[in-house]
Amino acid sequence: MKKISFLLLLSTFTFHTVTAQAQKAAIEKQKMDNFIANLMSKMTVDEKIGQLNLVTGGEATTGAAVSTDVESKIAKGNVGGIFSMTTPQKIRKTQEIAMKSRLKIPLIFGQDVIHGYKTTFPIPLALAASWDLSLIEKTARVAATEASADGLNWTFSPMVDISRDPRWGRVAEGSGEDTFLGSEIAKAMVRGYQGNDLKQLNTMMACVKHFALYGASEAGRDYNTTDMSLDRMYNEYLPPYKAALDAGAGSIMVSFNDINGVPATANKWLLTDLLRKQWGFKGFVASDYTGVSELINHGLGDLQTVSALSLKAGTDMDMVSEGFLTTLKKSLNEGKVNIAQINNACRLILEAKYKLGLFDDPFRYCSEERAAKEILTPENLKFARETATKTFVLLKNEKQTLPLKRTGTIALIGPLANTRSNMPGTWSVNADFDRIPTLLEGLTEVAGKNVKVLHALGSNLIADEKQQIWGTAHGRDIPRDNRPEDDIIAEAIKIANQSDLVVAALGEASEMSGESSSRTDIGIPDTQKKLLAALIKTGKPVVLVLFAGRPMTLTWENEHVPAILNVWFGGVEAARAIGDVLFGDVNPSGKLTMTFPQNVGQIPLYYSHKNTGRPLDNEKWFFRFRSNYLDVSNEPLYPFGYGLSYATFNYGDLKLSSNTLKPGQKITVSTTVTNTGKVAGQEVVQLYTRDLVGSSTRPVKELKGFQKITLQPGESKMVSFILSEENLKFFNNDLKFVAEPGDFKAFIGPNVRDVKEIDFKLVK
Q: How many Å apart are CA 336 and CA 329, to the nearest integer?
A: 10
Tell me the pairing of strands 666-675 and 649-651.
Answer: antiparallel
The amino acid that residue 723 corresponds to is L
For ligand BGC, the closer CB: 209 or 353: 209
For ligand BGC, the closer CB: 236 or 288: 288
Closest by alpha carbon to 584, among 377, 387, 405?
A: 405
For ligand BGC, the closer CB: 289 or 547: 289
For ligand BGC, the closer CB: 178 or 294: 294
Q: How many Å apart are CA 257 and CA 166, to the nearest integer?
A: 17
Q: Cβ of residue 687: shortest distance to ligand BGC, in angstroms?
A: 32
Q: Cβ of residue 288: shortest distance to ligand BGC, in angstroms?
A: 5
For ligand BGC, the closer CB: 209 or 370: 209
Residue pair 351/32 in contact by the 8 Å Cβ criterion: yes
Residue pair 213/152 in contact by the 8 Å Cβ criterion: no
For ligand BGC, the closer CB: 474 or 610: 474
**Across the chain, which distance is largest between two alpha carbons, in Å?**
89
How many CB atoms are closer than 10 A to CB 470? 15
Q: Cβ of residue 62: shortest distance to ligand BGC, in angstroms?
A: 3
Closest by alpha carbon to 200, among 423, 64, 365, 404?
A: 365
Instruction: Find the helix or strand (DSSP H, E) in which 722 lies.
Output: strand 716-724
Q: Cβ of residue 491: shortest distance to ligand BGC, in angstroms?
A: 40
Q: Cβ of residue 283: shortest distance to ligand BGC, in angstroms?
A: 16
Q: How many Å apart are CA 337 and CA 720, to the nearest integer?
A: 56
Could you tell me which residues come within 8 angstroms of residue 28 by beta carbon, excluding any fewer than 6 positions away? none
For ligand BGC, the closer CB: 131 or 289: 289
For ligand BGC, the closer CB: 121 or 156: 156
Buried b / exposed e along 313-330 (16+ C-beta atoms within 10 A): bbbbbbbbbbbbbbbbbe
User: Residue 384 half-sphere exposure, CB side, CA atoms within 13 Å?
Assistant: 30
In the bound complex, which residue of the shown chain has the CB atom lying closest to ligand BGC?
62
Q: Cβ of residue 251: shortest distance to ligand BGC, in angstroms?
A: 11
Q: Cβ of residue 192: shortest distance to ligand BGC, in angstroms?
A: 18
For ligand BGC, the closer CB: 62 or 78: 62
Our CA dihedral for 599, 601, 603, 608, rounded to 10 degrees, sits at -80
For ligand BGC, the closer CB: 57 or 749: 57
Residue pair 694/742 in contact by the 8 Å Cβ criterion: yes
Q: Cβ of residue 702: shortest distance to ligand BGC, in angstroms?
A: 28
Our CA dihedral for 173, 178, 182, 184, rounded to 10 degrees, sits at -150
3-state secondary structure 76-138: CCCCCEEECCCCHHHHHHHHHHHCCCCCCCCCEEEECCCCECCCECCCHHHHHCCCCHHHHHH
Q: Contact residues for ligand BGC (CB under 6 A)?
A: 62, 112, 156, 209, 288-289, 515
Residue pair 252/282 in contact by the 8 Å Cβ criterion: no
Q: Cβ of residue 280: shortest distance to ligand BGC, in angstroms?
A: 25
- Could you confirm whether 288 is annotated as catalytic? yes
Q: Cβ of residue 626: shortest distance to ligand BGC, in angstroms?
A: 40
Of 132, 288, 318, 691, catalytic: 288
Q: How many Å apart are CA 211 and CA 715, to the nearest integer?
A: 45
Buried b / exposed e along 361-390 (16+ C-beta atoms within 10 A): ebebbbbeebbeebbbeeebbebbbebbbb
Buried b / exposed e along 646-667 (16+ C-beta atoms within 10 A): bbbbebeebebeeeebeeeeeb
Q: How many Å apart are CA 611 and CA 602, to the nearest integer?
A: 16
Query: What helix, strand, coil percent values describe the chain, rounded to 5?
Result: 35, 20, 45
Q: Cβ of residue 320: shortest distance to ligand BGC, in angstroms?
A: 8
Residue pair 105/51 in contact by the 8 Å Cβ criterion: yes
For ligand BGC, the closer CB: 156 or 642: 156
Q: Cβ of residue 517: shortest distance to ligand BGC, in angstroms?
A: 12
Q: How many Å apart are CA 496 and CA 627, to the nearest integer?
A: 46
How many CB atoms are closer than 10 A to CB 686? 26
Q: How many Å apart are CA 673 and CA 671, to the nearest integer?
A: 6
Q: How many Å apart are CA 340 and CA 639, to the nearest integer?
A: 51
For ligand BGC, the closer CB: 160 or 581: 160
φ/ψ of residue 389, rounded to 5: -60, -25
Q: Mind telling me the catalytic residues?
A: 288
